[in-house]
Structure 1
Amino acid sequence: MNVAQPQYDRARLTPGIVHIGVGNFHRAHMAVYLDDLFALGESHDWAILGAGVRPADAAMRSALKTQNCLSTVIELDPQGRRARRGGAMVDFIEVDPSNAPLIKAMCRPEIRIVSMTVTEGGYFIDPATGELDPTKPEIVADSRNPDRPATAFGAIIAALRSRRAAGIPPFAVLSCDNLRSNGHCARAATVGLARLSDSSLADWIASNVSFPNTMVDRITPATGTRERAMAAAFGLAEDPAPVTCEPFRQWVMEDQFPSGRPALEKVGVVFTDRVHAFETMKIRILNGGHAIIAYPAGIKSIEYVHEATANQTITAFLDRVLTNEILPIVPPPAGQDLFEYQRQTLKRFRNPEIADTVRRLCFDGSNRQPQFIIPSIRDNLDKGVMPRGLILESALWCRYCYGIDERGQTIEPNDPCWNALTAAARAAKENPERWIGMRTIYGELADNRQFVGAFADALHLVWSQGVNAAMLRYLENTVR
């Protein structure tokens, strides 16, 4: 089987980016875009230096250094898998507890962007305020030892401090994490941590460093036995860390790079000052769509997402809720057809090659529902529309958190707040207001008597007649 190789001379690449957090998503997303760009003969001074701040990053460094920092990326297209060896990364910085090698690399004048995929928890943001949580142990430690930081943001601050002292212009800080307003989160983390030890530096960072917002999207499964077997089928059995991903990818960002950037618009990246509009589209349609199919599938003991989409009732429920209750409240970004995006979303869900699990989609509803579902409910109510499909979805989440599926099997804990959710779900079987009363999730909706009544009706229907009957009742009473 053929494996595409880098279509450029890697020896002629020079680094312009330090990327912190070289996981599967980065190697299937940002690194692939740059690989495509370098193949056009463009931006060869924007290669990547990989980096990390966790012990696990050292293992990734070891794996990639043995193969000259090449990454195997396998696209899981139902029409046929395609493999490539990406060469956008030219080195991987030594991983050290003090982060001294990382800080030194970020001080190099040719480094003009520091990007990251450090997961949501790596930003240490208080969701209630949107600002840095100064009580996190990692933040306390870095504020007391700014010269030996353990976090990515502590290392970034140390590098910016050195660059300022040396008269070197600051780099842009580019978040590639799947967070809403991720640039704002990166700015809050950086400025907030700096202010705990050096208010003057914090002010300088706030005035001089850019933090572009981005929207990133590509499903990238974890690497396991299945993925290594795929690599072996392409003759790459020696690669310990191959990446698999869906064919679809999207990257949208603000064009705020004072020291320059690679010409990524030539390989499909969208630069816009309306990243939030793309975020809303993705969160409401893609992430909201995931939630709409996840909980009925989870209650019905369906294991994989593509199996859930093979269930006609679940798919019809998804289509109706998206069409009637979500698309009408999503402002379309410029150049985007929401119905085409909806069609593409369902195609992605149906891809059996991904083997995405329903359990993964059900995970962390206490955090995801307030982001992906509750805003759509609220927007419909503000327009005078009772979104009974979204309310049914919320009732199905409650039913899932009861902890026993329709076959009588235990649903293993699947949320950081699982015990509290299960207690509320069991109380809500007799008194639905016990569920809606979780104000950290539902907020002022708990005071909306019409909403509370509609939720109670939906939950009663789920319990009395079952998941399938509840979805069919909704479909019978609505028109596409």
Structure 2
Amino acid sequence: GNGEVTEATICGLARLSDPEIADWIHHNVAFPNSMVDRITPATGQREIDITRENYGIEDGWPVFCEGFKQWVLEDKFPLGRPALEDVGVTFVPDVAPYELMKLRILNGGHAAIAYPAALMDIHFVHESMENPLIRAFLAKLENDEIIPVVPPVPNTSLQDYFALIENRFTNPKIGDTIPRLAQDGSNRQPKFILPSTADRLAQDLDVQGLALVSALWSRYFEGTSDGGKPIAFNDPSADRLQAAALASRNDPMAFIGITDIFGSVGANPQFQKRFGEAIASLRSQGAAATLQRYLDGTLAS
């Protein structure tokens, strides 16, 4: 968790100059793991204009965010702590189940809707949720494939958690964008989507929807939307991802064969089959029709 990472970093730096101080920090300072959740879109001209026009404030970098906020913190403080629960902090013995829930359901949801929306020339996240195909795709994917492989979280209904997230995604005031969700997929897909895929494959469960997400990502990296508009990539691996996506037109396995991203998932025959069906449909019929086929249960036909 982030607490262990912070401790390793601080103790490692301290050890370079004074090993005794590093040992003291390790034995006496608490580094509790935590999870925070609040959708905060990138600042752009829209946010600058709203701040000036609605509030009379000239700010070159206002930070917008949603009303929802969540902070989950491990209760590991050797010398006491402030009563942060009085301002909304949830104290737990282990933050890992909460973090995994967020990564799989919320971040995974963002990763799932980013690429169909981009291929359909949709700019804002709330606009993607106004599209009945994308909203239904997200709901089916979450309820049928993602949530069933998320471990239980204390005192939490995963279905209620998704319903809350679905509502948060519809908020038009924060102006979250599809380009923000689509960026850095080479880092996000292995964290947010592929672990759910791997868990389902390990249990011999179907991955049709999750493979469709990977196919949508591949189709996105071919570089043009279904409407013919060029797609601007924001990913450190953009060049090799686009090369692999274009190569997959002749060899469907070229994209999912990128082993440092897909790992063993890309070599799984069931995943390969589902990916092949999805990418073929996306190229021949487009994103909207492919989502409809997934919803109708005819994507494999």
Query: RMSD of aligned C-alpha atoms?
Result: 1.9
Query: What is the identity percentage for the equivalent residue pairs of Structure 1 and Structure 2?
Result: 50
CA distance in 2, matches of 1:267, 1:367: 33
Which of 255, 260, 274 lines up with 1:454 in the alignment?
274
Alignment CA distance shift 1:474-1:267 (3 Å): same
The unaligned stretches of length 5 or more in structure 1 are 1-180
Secondary structure of the equivalent of 1:251? Answer: strand
CA distance in 2, matches of 1:430, 1:320: 30
Secondary structure of the equivalent of 1:253? Answer: strand
Which of 340, 355, 359 lines up with 2:175 in the alignment?
355
Counterpart of 1:277 in structure 2 is: 97
- TM-superposed CA distance for 1:200, in Å, is 3.5
Conserved? CA contact 2:75–2:92, under 8 Å: yes
Counterpart of 1:266 in structure 2 is: 86
Conserved? CA contact 1:229–1:237, under 8 Å: no
- TM-superposed CA distance for 1:281, in Å, is 0.9
Counterpart of 2:207 in structure 1 is: 387
- TM-superposed CA distance for 1:414, in Å, is 1.6
- TM-superposed CA distance for 1:222, in Å, is 3.8
What aligned pairs does 1:3-18 form with structure 2 within 5 A after superposition? none
Counterpart of 1:87 in structure 2 is: none
Conserved? CA contact 1:214–1:251, under 8 Å: yes
Which of 122, 133, 150 lines up with 1:302 in the alignment?
122
CA distance in 1, matches of 2:224, 2:16: 46
CA distance in 1, matches of 2:224, 2:58: 43
Conserved? CA contact 1:194–1:202, under 8 Å: yes
The one-character-per-residue Cα deviations of 1:112-141 (angstroms, maximum 9, x if unpaired) are xxxxxxxxxxxxxxxxxxxxxxxxxxxxxx
Aligned residues: 298
Equivalent residue letter for 1:306: H
What aligned pairs does 1:55-70 form with structure 2 within 5 A after superposition? none
The answer to which structure has the higher helix fraction is 2
What aligned pairs does 1:101-180 form with structure 2 within 5 A after superposition? none
- TM-superposed CA distance for 1:427, in Å, is 0.6
Task: Compare 341-350 and 428-437 and name the one that shifted more.
Answer: 428-437
Residue 212 (structure 1) aligned with residue 26 (structure 2): no
Which of 180, 188, 193 lines up with 1:373 in the alignment?
193
CA distance in 1, matches of 2:252, 2:6: 39
CA distance in 2, matches of 1:250, 1:316: 26
Task: Compare 185-194 and 429-438 and name the one that shifted more.
Answer: 185-194
- TM-superposed CA distance for 1:240, in Å, is 5.9
Which of 257, 264, 281 lines up with 1:444 in the alignment?
264
CA distance in 2, matches of 1:356, 1:188: 34
- TM-superposed CA distance for 1:361, in Å, is 0.2
Conserved? CA contact 1:329–1:376, under 8 Å: yes
- TM-superposed CA distance for 1:469, in Å, is 1.7
The answer to which structure has the higher strand fraction is 1
Q: TM-score, normalised by structure 1?
A: 0.59
The unaligned stretches of length 5 or more in structure 2 are none
Conserved? CA contact 2:186–2:237, under 8 Å: yes
Conserved? CA contact 1:302–1:308, under 8 Å: yes
Q: TM-score, normalised by structure 2?
A: 0.93
The one-character-per-residue Cα deviations of 1:358-389 (angstroms, maximum 9, x if unpaired) are 00000000000110000000111122101100
- TM-superposed CA distance for 1:457, in Å, is 1.8
- TM-superposed CA distance for 1:235, in Å, is 4.7
Q: Name which one, 1 or 2, has greater alpha-carbon Rg.
A: 1
Which of 44, 57, 66 lines up with 1:237 in the alignment?
57
CA distance in 1, matches of 2:173, 2:67: 10
Which of 131, 155, 165 lines up with 1:311 in the alignment?
131
Residue 332 (structure 1) aligned with residue 152 (structure 2): yes
Equivalent residue letter for 2:6: A
Equivalent residue letter for 2:76: Q
Alignment CA distance shift 1:421-1:196 (3 Å): farther
Task: Compare 207-216 and 354-363 and name the one that shifted more.
Answer: 207-216
